[in-house]
Chains A and B, each alone.
Chain A
Amino acid sequence: MKNKYSIFSLIKNAFSNHENWQRAWRDPEPKKEYDAVIVGGGGHGLATAYYLAKKHNLTNIAVVEKGWIGGGNTGRNTTIIRSNYLWDASAGLYDHALKIWEGLSQELNYNVMFSQRGVMNLAHNLQDVRDLKRRTHANRLNGIDAVWLETDEVKKFCPIINTSQDIRYPVLGGTLQKRAGTARHDAVAWGYARGADEMGVDIIQNCEVKGIKRNGDAVEGLETTKGFIKTKKVGVVAAGHSSVIANMAGLKLPLESKPLQALVSEPVKPIIDTVVMSNAVHAYVSQSDKGELVIGAGTDSYVSYTQKGSFNIVEETLKAILELYPIFSRMKMLRQWGGIVDICPDASPIISKTSIKGLYFNCGWGTGGFKATPGSGDLFAHTIANDEPHKLNAAFNINRFVSGDLVDEHGAAAVAH
């Protein structure tokens, strides 16, 4: 049983110079056999393991991770959480996640620093205005809070935005989801890891999957750098490397992996207390609790696994940021990085069974997977445990690319691609 984190445990540990905190999770060697193995120790993978143990009583399971947990896209995203997607299926999926976020810190006894500071999406041309108003109406029909703001209301909500009508892409209004916001991304991985570990889940780091062993059409186990692990169920949550794992099993996925970049500035005093996104000029910005501006740039147009990204992409994003926020003109950028995102043709994820029995994929989250972490884990756990999708992820099966029943969310994805 793990010690509960509280103000009292904080005070108690202060007396021993914080040297006696209990380990948050073990560092086990893999057993010979598990009931299920999750490939990928990011937020989604760890959440999947947590809900498999918690809701489906599958505790003889493991998470295998090539590097260290939360070291991939979980630690590389811009931490934005929202659910204002257009279609019913997406609204169900992303709002399911948002509802779990609202009680997650209490559930995990781990402060994920979920902050409902609101997310504003700006419109810069007549088509933006029409599309965003339509999305607002669709959101409200699905019970998701969304309001349309005129230009003066945008200015009132976020005073540092340049709402002059003389700029190249003037702000013509925007939408606001007040329940949306940000969370501390590392804490999400650590909180789920701690919770899963407590229920007996083995989290095995520095363990890379090298092959998937099949017996006919069924999974038999995984070849890893720490030896063979026997299991009948494998849930793959490998983000940008999903296709690499799929190729090991002889499967092809409708994915392309591309670098997506983000950057942070030097820390400054509080200046922007919300998240502002703009698809048309491709700029979005928020401020971390440390005071850094967190800025999301776009994807490169070509397939690459380099985790770098091109300089011209950053340059374009900063140009747009400077036009919208002239106050940032002398800010220095501290760090820039890239992550590999797996993009589906319809900009919606895949949470699905496959043609191979016991092999499940949760992938294709593209540029916006962080926001869905708790919901994704919950629904993927349901799919693995029951060998059937939950009704909220039934539409996100891999067969939609055969049936043509796509969930086109290019308009609601914050990064144009």
Chain B
Amino acid sequence: MFLISCPYCGERDQSEFVSGGEAHIARPKQPTELNDDQWAEYLFMRKNIKGIQFERWNHVHGCRKWFNVARDTSNDKIEKIYKMGEQPPKI
């Protein structure tokens, strides 16, 4: 349990948000051209990092907007919050 600073609403309790999992996994432009291994990689395989992980969050009980969070999963400390479409920060 921790606080998240929504880039649109400010600091709120984590229970107002839902996690959308690992960030920066782009949907393939032409899924029909992928083989099964590539599709499985996109759909199921995750880094599941212990340490700094880049992930998507949605302020579902607030503005309902998506944004990115760089969070240390070993202690739940948030390092950086940045908007969708922005490049992940160097940490």
Question: Closest Cβ of chain B: how far from A168's Cβ, in Å?
Answer: 20
User: What CA separation (Å) do A252 and B19 show in the bound complex?
Assistant: 20
Q: Is the CB of A256 within 8 A of B21?
A: yes
Residues of B with C-beta under 8 A to A254: 40, 44-46
A-B contact count (CB 8 A): 71
**Residues of A301-350 whose CB lies within 8 A of B:** 301-306, 308-312, 342, 345
Q: Is the CB of B47 within 8 A of A247?
A: yes
Question: Closest Cβ of chain B: how far from A247's Cβ, in Å?
Answer: 7
**Residues of B26-76 whose CB lies within 8 A of A:** 36-37, 39-41, 43-50, 53, 55, 73-76
Residue from A253, A301, A302, A309 within 8 A of B46 (CB atoms): A253
Q: Is the CB of A301 within 8 A of B19?
A: yes
Question: Closest Cβ of chain A: how far from B57's Cβ, in Å?
Answer: 8
Q: Is the CB of B50 within 8 A of A244?
A: yes
22 contacts between A and B (CB under 8 A): A253-B46, A256-B21, A256-B46, A257-B50, A301-B18, A301-B19, A302-B14, A303-B55, A303-B73, A304-B73, A305-B73, A306-B74, A309-B1, A310-B14, A312-B1, A312-B15, A401-B40, A401-B45, A402-B39, A402-B40, A403-B36, A404-B36
Q: Say which size band chain B's interface belongs to.
A: 20 to 34
Please tell me if A243 contacts chain B, counting CB pairs below 8 Å: yes
Q: Is the CB of A255 within 8 A of B48?
A: yes
**Residues of A367-417 whose CB lies within 8 A of B:** 401-404
Chain A residues with CB under 8 Å of chain B are 241, 243-244, 247, 252-257, 301-306, 308-312, 342, 345, 401-404
Residue from B1, B15, B44, B49 within 8 A of A401 (CB atoms): B44
User: What CA separation (Å) do A159 and B64 show in the bound complex?
Assistant: 44
Closest residue of chain A to B18, judged by CB?
Answer: A301
Q: Is the CB of A243 within 8 A of B46?
A: yes
Question: Closest Cβ of chain A: how far from B79's Cβ, in Å?
Answer: 14
Q: Is the CB of A241 within 8 A of B40?
A: no
User: What CA separation (Å) do A252 and B44 show in the bound complex?
Assistant: 10
Question: Closest Cβ of chain B: how far from A299's Cβ, in Å?
Answer: 11
Q: Is the CB of A311 within 8 A of B1?
A: yes
Q: Is the CB of B74 within 8 A of A303?
A: no
Question: Closest Cβ of chain A: how far from B14's Cβ, in Å?
Answer: 7
Residues of A with C-beta under 8 A to B44: 254, 345, 401
Q: Is the CB of A306 within 8 A of B76?
A: yes
User: What CA separation (Å) do A254 and B43 show in the bound complex?
Assistant: 9
Residues of B with C-beta under 8 A to A244: 50
Residue from A243, A301, A345, A404 within 8 A of B48 (CB atoms): A243
User: What CA separation (Å) do A112 and B44 show in the bound complex?
Assistant: 37
Residues of A with C-beta under 8 A to B1: 308-312
Residue from B22, B37, B50 within 8 A of A305 (CB atoms): B50
Question: Closest Cβ of chain B: how far from A41's Cβ, in Å?
Answer: 19
User: What CA separation (Å) do A342 and B73 show in the bound complex?
Assistant: 14
